[in-house]
Amino acid sequence: MTFMTGYQSMEGVPSTCNHWLLTEVLRDEWGFEGVVVTDWDNVGRLVTEQKVCASYVEAAVAAVRAGNDIMMTTPEFYDGALEAVRSGRLAEAEIDAPCARLLALKFRMGLFENPRRPDLERAALETGRAEHRAANLEAARQSLVLLQNDGLLPLDPKQLKSIAVIGPNADDDLQQLGDWSLGASQHPPEAGKHPREKTTTVLDGIRALAPEGLEVRYERGCSIIDDDLSGIPAAVAAAQAAEVVVAVLGDHLEFIGEVRSTATLELQGGRSRCSRRCRIHWRRAASRWWWC
């Protein structure tokens, strides 16, 4: 088992150097027997961003004594820890402790008998198996939350002549995948993005299920990342002309993930303004709207 420290602080103490959190609570009180790994450059951030340590030597001492076992992506930790041992600020026995925990975990996992190196043939057999896809589908179904249904749902495509699908997330494939997918901020632009044909947006799904004769009209409306409202008139016109409106709102990769998440659940970008405009129209025809 592994436990990763976060970037946050508790009462002014970063979690990476919080002995009370990582040792007294996690190990002593909760009985955690695995290894603790820092998040990306957490030890370095003690010096460069959180500024609770004056040097990498001091940061190495603090991280080890707090209870960390693996220092992720802080190259300066190695030289800092060596200097701390040479100068007597850190005992070798204090380095032995995390090494012992890491070796114990590898023994329990059987990694010395079976190192589990990459097996592309097995990966090809295991990835995307029918039972795995079925489990993913069931998990997606159970994660849906229907707050209120006044009889509009489920939609009967045989009884409809027109559907308007509006909203900036209705046909944005990347926003369906999250911030660790190809094309998100965690990957360089040259890495490309997730293949479009591998993602089904709300608009894709509605069009695929719509029978012949059912008009599906799509309008993006506004932007999530800026205040551009130039698409609102077309979206309103589409909504007024349709029997049913599916409005697809939500988050954007600009506001998701580490050091990006917003501190509010309010709609971002132009939607914060256009939602006030649309609310009047929505009240007039609430029974025809489905928000997702």
Catalytic residues: 39
Return d(Cα 31, Cα 181) in angstroms, integer. Answer: 34
Sequence letter at residue 71 = M
Nearest-10 crossing angle of helices 92-109, 56-66? 50
For the chain, list the strands marked E by DSSP.
2-4, 9-10, 13-14, 35-37, 162-166, 215-219, 244-247, 289-291
Q: Are 2 and 38 in contact (CB under 8 A)?
A: no
Give dist(CA 118, CA 279) in Å, integer: 53
Q: What token pair was written down for 185?
A: 């901020």
Q: For residues 211 and 162, give the distance between their C-alpha atoms in angstroms, rounded to a whole number.
A: 11
Residue 269, sorted as left (phi over 0), alpha (psi -120 to 50) or beta, turns out to be: left
| Number of alpha carbons in the 13 Å side-chain half-sphere of residue 18 | 21
Query: How far is Cα 189 from Cα 266, in angstroms, rounded to an integer?
Result: 29
